[in-house]
Amino acid sequence: MDHTPALGLADFLAQTDTVGRAAIFILLAMSVASWYLIVTKVIQIQGSKARSRRFLDLFWDAPSLQAVGTHLATHTPKDPFSGLAAQAISAVRHHERHGADRLNESGTTAEFLTRAMRQVIDEETARLENGLTILASVGSTAPFVGLFGTVWGVYHALLAIGMTGQGTLDKVAGPVGEALIMTAFGLAVAIPAVLAYNGITRSNRIVLSKLDSFAHDLYAFLTTGSHVNDLAATQAAAPSGEA
């Protein structure tokens, strides 16, 4: 009976040994992990963008920082910007009420505020980068796992052909072609992981850049005691005054 019509992934799985199946299982695990991270990260990024946009609109439209603090006291922060604002306002109030009771509270209110805001940004950076190491690892190692599976499959295919003594092209091309499925599988796992890693990393850089800019504005408001709309009006009037 002609064995050619049966060639394919199913035939490859039937013919391969434990090592080949282990390589396939590793690639499957990598694929599941990477796609889980991709989907969850995309949902998380989109949700965080929408919540951040709403909070920033509320922040810049607020009459004073006290109004922002009142809002944050009744609404749990769910985005990086509201979390930074809540922590910064809380840090200023805590230092003004209790002073420097511990070493990490030493210094002026501005210095304590700087440390508190830096800690929030560092924690947010770590949160945004959570899972990216897995995507990077999958993107860099999956092709090699697939290549290993191909080499192992070709080795066994050639070994079987050598034992039977049937070295014609139709006997060699089929098993070798089946083994190449592993390389294709490895690339199919790696490419989405690499693309997602690059896209998420770029999105994270944009968020952190905006968060850093917001932190500078928030620091200025908290250390000068200016109202949001008062400072904005001053900044708007500055160019005409200089002219």
Return mean pLDDT, the chain: 79
| Per-residue pLDDT at 91 | 82
| Per-residue pLDDT at 2 | 45
Q: Which residue has the higher pLDDT, 21 or 105?
A: 21
207 has pLDDT over 70:
yes
* pLDDT tens digit sequence for 81-134: 988 888 888 887 776 665 555 545 555 777 878 888 898 899 999 999 898 999
* pLDDT tens digit sequence for 148-179: 888 887 777 777 667 766 656 556 666 677 67
Find the mean pLDDT for residues 4-14: 57
Q: Please name the amino acid found at residue 168.
A: T
- Our measurement of the distance from residue 221's CA atom to the centroid of its chain's CA atoms, rounded to an integer in Å, reads 31
> What is the 3-class SS of the chain, one letter each residue?
CCCHHHCCHHHHHHHCCHHHHHHHHHHHHHHHHHHHHHHHHHHHHHHHHHHHHHHHHHHHHCCCHHHHHHHHHHCCCCCHHHHHHHHHHHHHHHHHHHCCCCHHHCCCHHHHHHHHHHHHHHHHHHHHCCCHHHHHHHHHHHHHHHHHHHHHHHHHHHHHHHHHCCCCHHHHHHHHHHHHHHHHHHHHHHHHHHHHHHHHHHHHHHHHHHHHHHHHHHHHHHHHCCCHHHHHHHHHHHHHHHC
234 has pLDDT over 60:
no
| Per-residue pLDDT at 140 | 93
| Per-residue pLDDT at 179 | 74
- State the Cα–Cα distance between residues 62 and 15, nearest whole angstrom: 69
| CA distance to 12, 27, 67, 89, 181, per residue, from 20 (Å) | 9, 11, 63, 58, 12
| Per-residue pLDDT at 231 | 43
Given a contact cutoff of 8 angstroms between Cβ atoms, the answer to whether 109 and 94 are in contact is no
Give the pLDDT band (50/70/90) at residue 1.
very low
Q: Which residue has the higher pLDDT, 50 or 18?
A: 50
| Per-residue pLDDT at 37 | 94
φ/ψ region of 135 (left if φ > 0, alpha if ψ in -120 to 50, else beta) reads alpha
Q: Which residue has the higher pLDDT, 41 or 233?
A: 41
Q: Which residue has the higher pLDDT, 68 or 224?
A: 68
- State the Cα–Cα distance between residues 198 and 203, nearest whole angstrom: 9
| Per-residue pLDDT at 164 | 65
23 has pLDDT over 70:
yes
222 has pLDDT over 90:
no
| Per-residue pLDDT at 20 | 76
| Per-residue pLDDT at 143 | 93
31 has pLDDT over 70:
yes
